[in-house]
Structure 1
């Protein structure tokens, strides 16, 4: 199944009120916004790609911004959020013995998610900084639901003495920024680079591990002569 077929099956599930033209408009907008960005995409381009008249877009959506929000709302509400929560739970519900194993499973999990949903993910990453409404939706659908579960997981490894005592918010920020920095670079900013995915994943894990290892824990290569 192609990425577009996957998006159609999932995005339009239970959306019986949408006409075939609306579906074509939304798919064309997803493709265009992910490739060029929201600001650089015109409604005339979307109409041409969808095979409809530009006026057809404005009969359904008052502005281009309304079209973007009409895509993001169901995307967050019933596509991105359920899949993100479900996929993360696959990792969080398995109590890995070591924090390093948890990190590896989490990164592998996110890579699989990105490969299947890259166009939609790109739109979220590109547009969230410029639209307060999208920030609020992301926080509501994903941030709050995931934070509690991840905080619980970090507390588990702190109790085992595998990571240092820091506030959960700080640990999540440090670990998430490192992991998503790798994923965004790999799949969005520099996808054409000659990546050694396994090596980069291990480097990411080791960077996080060394930064969160208790001071009295031995780190290979840290000894001085």
Structure 2
């Protein structure tokens, strides 16, 4: 595939992601996508024969190519660069990094999460491509903590799921600040980190 074709396809996908995030899949027309991408509507169907193919193409490309880079960005460095810090500081650093990633890529993440729930194959791709590398890094962090007596004897994957869930809730609270009125962004992350660590700390 030459650069011109790749560029046109990327242009279509970027335009579709932006409109899907604003109006949802069912509320978007290919004409709107074409206008946003500054191409003829017929050009879209050279790459995606049906609107459904366009949606599927967006999600597949986002997950296979973009999502691992987005989700995985900076995760290993957080644990490597902060190895001399406390578990609390590491967890807060992880939360801050994830919040920044979400804010920088909110449009794409919103589309993927909203639409993936209706596509089992997309869900499966997400679990195959995106989660395993991140899970491995966090699992290792908890396994080391268990070996050194910092954490209770729980399965590392359970602790990883709790940590990811805590981060996800932290992100939601950042976008719904009225739910926790009176707390700053930093205080939200600090208190959630404390709650998580109180439940898993051995001492």
Q: Same fold (TM over 0.5)?
A: yes
Distance in 1 (alpha carbons) for counterparts of 2:8 and 2:164: 39
How many residues align structurally? 200
Equivalence map 1:67-106=2 (5 Å): 67-94=54-81, 95-106=83-94
CA offset digits 1:45-86 (Å, max 9, x no partner): 222333334333223201222212322333223322134334
CA offset digits 1:117-176 (Å, max 9, x no partner): 111111122122111222122112221222222111101112232222111221112221
Q: Greater share of helix residues, 1 or 2?
A: 2
CA offset digits 1:79-130 (Å, max 9, x no partner): 2213433411111323244221220111111122122211111112212211
Q: Which of 108, 112, 126 is the aligned partner of 2:100?
A: 112
Would you say 1:22 and 2:9 are equivalent positions? Answer: yes
Q: Which of 111, 129, 135 is the aligned partner of 2:117?
A: 129
Distance in 1 (alpha carbons) for counterparts of 2:33 and 2:126: 25
Distance in 2 (alpha carbons) for counterparts of 1:199 and 1:207: 12
Match of residue 44 from structure 2: 57
Equivalence map 1:143-182=2 (5 Å): 143-182=131-170
Q: Which of 1, 22, 33 is the aligned partner of 1:35?
A: 22
Q: Where in structure 1 are there 5+ consecutive unaligned residues?
A: 1-13, 218-225
Q: Where in structure 2 are there 5+ consecutive unaligned residues?
A: none
Deviates most, 75-84 or 199-208? 75-84
Distance in 1 (alpha carbons) for counterparts of 2:166 and 2:46: 43
Deviates most, 167-176 or 178-187? 178-187
- Does the CA-based 8 Å contact 1:98-1:162 persist in structure 2? no
Match of residue 7 from structure 1: none
Distance in 1 (alpha carbons) for counterparts of 2:39 and 2:173: 35
Distance in 2 (alpha carbons) for counterparts of 1:113 and 1:210: 26
Task: Please provide the CA RMSD for this pair.
Answer: 2.5
